[in-house]
């Protein structure tokens, strides 16, 4: 007795590969877009908080926008008139731009150098003292800019300042000096303020890089006869190139747009126009002179300057990574 078994292929089996491929394609598309979907809420918030104000600032910069326009609600478009006035202004060429650029360069150099020196000191300490000293210097970074600025104003105050009192006690000057009237001494005080407030970030960041430098490289350099300075500049610094790039970029951005440390100093709010920088000049023209369009144009110029600085440093980092 024989039996014949018939195997029948399921109906629609020819469509299974296609459906599997469709599911794989959909999964691939979903995987590709999933990061953007997760970032969408944050990007939406950033667009509302940052992008829209930038767009409005750009629109104001193309208008002669002041109190009459605020009251009437009408736009008075003048094109690039505000930019032309700002770029051809003697105030920009002789005072504001030198104050902004030269001060930013000096601040970045001093902050990075001093912060690196503190980082090297911290790296040489034991774990307990390293935690104690690191916690102490972070108090300077946690201090609000307004509070720190008023402390430095008190130190250099013409009548009750500690600095004048010490100089008079040592016989180095006969009468108190107002250090905020001179352009150079004004920015020297601002520089002390900026370095005091910014060096802890540099120190802690560079310290993290120093602790990650392979000890074998330092030991090999020492065996080859390299001294401490040679080991630092020939071995340690190349290993920390990316760390230094980050702290320099961030310090440059912060120091180019310094506002509170200048504005809160005596004369920095506009009464002494020799100490204006781009940020304070924009604020004074906007809210002091009620020229919101002209102030917006100055703010746009500052933003473009910061973007150019950032692009230069980012390109430098990318070239170093390719090497």
Confidence at residue 47, expressed as pLDDT on a 0 to 100 scale = 81
pTM: 0.80
Q: Quick count: other Cβ atoms within 10 Å of Cβ 179?
A: 20
Tokens for 116, please give them: 């690196």
Per-residue pLDDT of the chain (323 residues; tens, 9 = 90+): 444 444 444 544 444 445 666 666 777 777 788 888 888 888 888 888 888 888 888 999 999 988 888 888 888 899 999 999 999 999 999 999 999 999 999 999 999 999 999 999 998 888 888 888 888 888 878 888 899 999 999 999 988 889 999 998 888 888 888 999 999 999 999 999 999 999 999 999 999 888 888 888 888 887 878 888 888 888 888 888 888 888 888 888 889 889 999 999 999 888 898 999 999 999 999 998 889 999 999 999 998 988 888 787 777 777 766 65
3-state secondary structure the chain: CCCCCCCCCCCCHHHHHHHHHHHHHHHHHHHHHHHHHHHHHHHHHHHHHHHHHHHHHHHHCCECCCHHHHHHCCCCECCCHHHHHHHCCHHHHHHHHHHHHHHHHHHHHHHHHHHHHHHHHHHHCCHHHHHHHHHHHHHHHHCCHHHHHHHHHHHCCCCCCHHHHHHHHCCCCCCCCCCCCCHHHHHHHHHHHHHHHHHHHHHHHHHHHHHCCCHHHHHHHHHCCCCHHHHHHHHHHHHCHHHHHHHHHHHHHHHHCCCHHHHCCCCCCCCCHHHCCHHHHHHHHHHHCCCHHHHHHHHHHHHHHHHHHHHHHHHHHHHHHHC
Confidence at residue 214, expressed as pLDDT on a 0 to 100 scale = 84
8 φ, ψ (degrees, to nearest 5):
-105, 125
Confidence at residue 322, expressed as pLDDT on a 0 to 100 scale = 60
Q: Quick count: other Cβ atoms within 10 Å of Cβ 225?
A: 7
Tokens for 35, please give them: 């990061």
Confidence at residue 116, expressed as pLDDT on a 0 to 100 scale = 93
Q: Does residue 225 contact residue 286 with C-beta atoms inside 8 Å?
A: no
Confidence at residue 252, expressed as pLDDT on a 0 to 100 scale = 87
Burial of residue 89, with CB atoms counted within 10 A of its CB: 0-12 exposed, 13-18 middle, 19 or more buried: middle
Number of residues assigned to the chain: 323
Tokens for 161, please give them: 């300042």
Confidence at residue 115, expressed as pLDDT on a 0 to 100 scale = 94
Confidence at residue 13, expressed as pLDDT on a 0 to 100 scale = 47
Going from the N-terminus, what domains does the chain have, and what CATH number goes with each? 81-322 (1.10.3720.10)
């Amino acid at each position: 007795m024989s039996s014949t078994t018939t195997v029948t292929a399921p109906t629609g089996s020819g469509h299974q590969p296609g459906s599997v491929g469709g599911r794989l394609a959909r999964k691939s598309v979903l995987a590709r877009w999933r990061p953007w979907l997760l970032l969408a809420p944050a990007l939406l918030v950033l667009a509302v908080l940052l992008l829209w104000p930038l767009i409005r600032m750009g629109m104001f910069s193309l208008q002669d926008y002041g109190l009459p326009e605020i009251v009437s609600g009408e736009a008075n478009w003048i094109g690039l008139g505000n930019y032309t006035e700002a770029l051809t202004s003697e105030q920009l060429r002789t005072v504001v731009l030198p104050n902004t650029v030269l001060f930013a360069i000096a601040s970045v150099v001093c902050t990075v150098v001093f912060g690196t020196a503190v980082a090297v000191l911290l790296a040489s300490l034991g774990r307990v003292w390293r935690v104690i000293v690191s916690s102490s210097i972070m108090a300077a970074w946690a201090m609000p800019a307004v509070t720190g600025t008023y402390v430095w104003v008190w130190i250099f105050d013409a009548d009750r300042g500690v600095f004048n009192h010490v100089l008079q006690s040592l016989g180095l000057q006969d009468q108190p000096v107002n250090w905020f009237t001179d352009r150079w001494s004004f920015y020297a005080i601002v520089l002390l303020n900026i370095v005091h407030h910014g060096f802890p970030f540099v120190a802690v960041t560079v310290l993290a890089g120093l602790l990650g430098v392979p000890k074998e490289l330092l030991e090999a350099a020492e065996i080859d006869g390299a001294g401490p300075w040679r080991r630092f500049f020939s071995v340690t610094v190349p290993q920390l190139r990316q760390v230094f790039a980050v702290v320099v970029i961030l310090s440059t951005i912060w120091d180019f747009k310094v506002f509170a440390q200048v504005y809160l100093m005596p004369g920095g709010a506009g009464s002494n126009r020799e100490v204006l920088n781009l940020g304070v000049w924009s604020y004074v023209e906007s809210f002091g002179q009620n020229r919101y369009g002209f102030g917006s144009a100055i703010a746009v110029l500052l933003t473009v300057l910061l973007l150019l600085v950032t692009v230069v440093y980012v390109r430098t980092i990318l070239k170093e990574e390719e090497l």
